[in-house]
Chain A
Amino acid sequence: MYVLITIVGLLVTLFFLAGFWRGLQNAIAEYRSGAPEPTDVPDYGYGSLAAVSVIASAVIIAGVGFSPAMIYAGPLLALVTAAGCGLAFFVEQTRA
């Protein structure tokens, strides 16, 4: 599991850095363009998605008490966090 997590961790790092580079380029391009940013705020409440993530975290922690394999859920999900941050750069809308 250690080897797997290390390899996946390296791949996730590359994905994250690619996203970071994209985000940096977007930020600089938008700043230079000087185009005004819209001020509209979407009406999505995200309540149900937030509830799902809260429940999921509780279930995962509880799951550790039922199976030793679940101990590795934490490290694996930490990689999901890094991948999620990288993904956020790729799904963001840009105006530049």
Chain B
Amino acid sequence: MDKSIFAAMPSLTPTLGFASMIGLGLFSLALSYAVKTLLVRNTHDFIIADRRVGFGFGVGSVIAVWTWAMAVMMSSAMTYQWGLSGLFWFVVPNGFAVMAMIPFARILRKNMPEGYTISEFIEYRFSRSKVATAIVTVTMIFGIILEILINLKGTSVVVSTVFGIDWKVATVVGIICVLVYSYFGGLWTSVMTGTLNTLMITVPAAIVVAAVYAVIPGGSEAVFKAAGAADARNLSVLRPDAAAGFGITLAFGLLAATVSDQTFWQKVWAIKSRDVGRVFLWSGALFYPIPICLGMLGLVGIAYGLKPADFGGDIVAVGPYIVSHIGLGLTLVLLYVLVILAACYSTIDGASAALSSVVAVDIVKRYFPQTSESSLFVITKLSVLLGGIIATLIVLSGLDFTTLVLTTYALKTSILLPLVLSILWPKTNMVGFVGGIALAIAVGMPIYATAGELIGTLSILAISGLTVVIAGLIGGKDFDLAGLRRIGDEVSAPAE
């Protein structure tokens, strides 16, 4: 297939780029202001939405926070790199990771109905152990900051690539757009804008991908034949090198990304209790089509024999490059940018809302319990801005994210099995929990560094899990999870 079809579009000006970013921000701001006026009166409403998030908003918002801007592009990139095996290993664990929350969410919502954060659960689960609680709190904060900066970085790269805007300016404009509206309404804003963003991700993605195939001479059949002719393995989901190369590691990483993430736990305690299980079921199942749809762009890249050098060297850019260079109309290219911006904004505002709950419950209320409601409300809202500012400074500094990514990865993966066992296994104790995480980092991470991702990840999981089990069997005491029902609401709504 002749790749001379790809050409830059001169009509994609920086003005259009700014208009797209600011337009979506202003729309979200208007909705956010209405939400603030109608649904948010205090810290309790701001960080937990009065535990009244219904089924519809629950499904829409969970899909939105799980659809990262990078994931939108990675689904195309993994298909481009590994063929359908890449898409398979990228997609299948992704939806499963959301549905994996169901048993844990049900147990904690049932036994700790007034909870706010997973760190708060750990605090009561391990007799107010400061070490255990601090580890989980720090992990959640690191994870949230990482979510914000990765999405910010990904979006700034796309906007700068498509519209020719300086990436630093795009970063600042992007974060201002999100923070301004996130500041007002907290979780309710995140839930509602996120739900609308799910619409802005799905329908435009379907239309744009179909449009790309419509402009290709021969359409899907030509792409199918050319991708198969390039390498028969492109059309197979059974490539073992894809599984070993990234699939298995990614699967565990994704599990850690949901189970060890306050963004999801905040929703567990904010969604109406009767809907918690089915929200995560529907969200996981309905998430699947998004990366499957966008992954089809990767096949186009293979079919045309595109090389990474054609689109700047980073395979993540293959999707944006195809859409903005294959000859689509301006409206369709803007729709694709909207997909990425919607994914970016919804993930960042979800992470910001999660950070506000951590700050309110795990920092202010824990260490300064006498803080008044009015002060707590202000601090909670300011924390949304602070998280965004820190992430922006890291992005703008041009620092290599590797250290932060590795640290967060180490914490999240190390915490996964101890956290799961602390919910499911009554014999889990504080020594096993803390020891498992500490040993996994101390021993597992060096293995990860020397033996590679797959062996390293499996080692971290094995070390952390085995330590918890051994300590639990030696300790012998059972924890009564139902006793957590006695715990009151840490940030209860003040009386009217």
CB within 8 A of B237: which of A2, A5, A61, A91?
A61
- Residues 1-56 of A at the B interface (beta carbon under 8 Å): 1-2, 5-6, 9, 12-13, 16-17, 19-20, 22-24, 26-28, 30-31, 37-42, 44-46, 49-50, 53-54, 56
* Complex interface: chain A residues within 8 A of B163 (CB): none
Binds A, one of B86-94, B146-154, B420-428, B440-448: B86-94
* Complex interface: chain A residues within 8 A of B91 (CB): 57, 61
Closest partner residue, chain B, to A16 (CB atom): B199
Knowing A50-B99, A82-B203 are in contact, say whether A44-B284 is a contact too (CB < 8 A).
Answer: no
Q: Are A57 and B203 interface neighbours, CB within 8 A?
A: no
* Complex interface: chain A residues within 8 A of B95 (CB): 53-54, 57
- Residues 71-96 of A at the B interface (beta carbon under 8 Å): 71-82, 84-86, 88-94
Q: Are A45 and B274 interface neighbours, CB within 8 A?
A: no
Measured CB to CB, the residues of B under 8 A from A are: 38-39, 50-60, 63, 84, 87-88, 91-92, 95-96, 99, 102-103, 106, 109-110, 113, 188, 192, 195-196, 198-199, 202-203, 205-207, 209-211, 213-214, 219-221, 223-225, 235-237, 272-278, 281-282, 284-290, 292-296, 299
7 pairs of A and B residues whose beta carbons are closest in the complex: A89-B56, A77-B289, A92-B55, A74-B293, A68-B224, A65-B235, A53-B285
A-B contact pairs, 10 of them (CB 8 A): A1-B210, A38-B274, A57-B92, A64-B84, A79-B202, A85-B59, A85-B195, A88-B55, A88-B56, A89-B56
* Complex interface: chain A residues within 8 A of B224 (CB): 67-68, 71
* Complex interface: chain B residues within 8 A of A28 (CB): 38-39
Q: Are B102 and A27 interface neighbours, CB within 8 A?
A: no
Determine how close the nearest CB of chain A comes to the CB of B290; give it in whole angstroms. 6
Q: Are A85 and B199 interface neighbours, CB within 8 A?
A: yes
Interface residues of chain B: helix, strand, loop or mixed (majority): helix
Closest partner residue, chain B, to A73 (CB atom): B292
* Complex interface: chain B residues within 8 A of A93 (CB): 55, 274
Q: Are A74 and B294 interface neighbours, CB within 8 A?
A: yes
Q: Are B109 and A41 interface neighbours, CB within 8 A?
A: yes
Q: Are A69 and B274 interface neighbours, CB within 8 A?
A: no
* Complex interface: chain A residues within 8 A of B188 (CB): 27
- Interface residue count on the A side (C-beta < 8 Å): 66
CB within 8 A of B284: which of A13, A53, A58?
A53
Given A1-B219, A30-B52, list of 14 further CB < 8 A pairs?
A1-B214, A6-B210, A30-B54, A61-B237, A64-B87, A68-B219, A68-B225, A71-B213, A75-B293, A78-B289, A78-B293, A79-B203, A89-B56, A93-B55
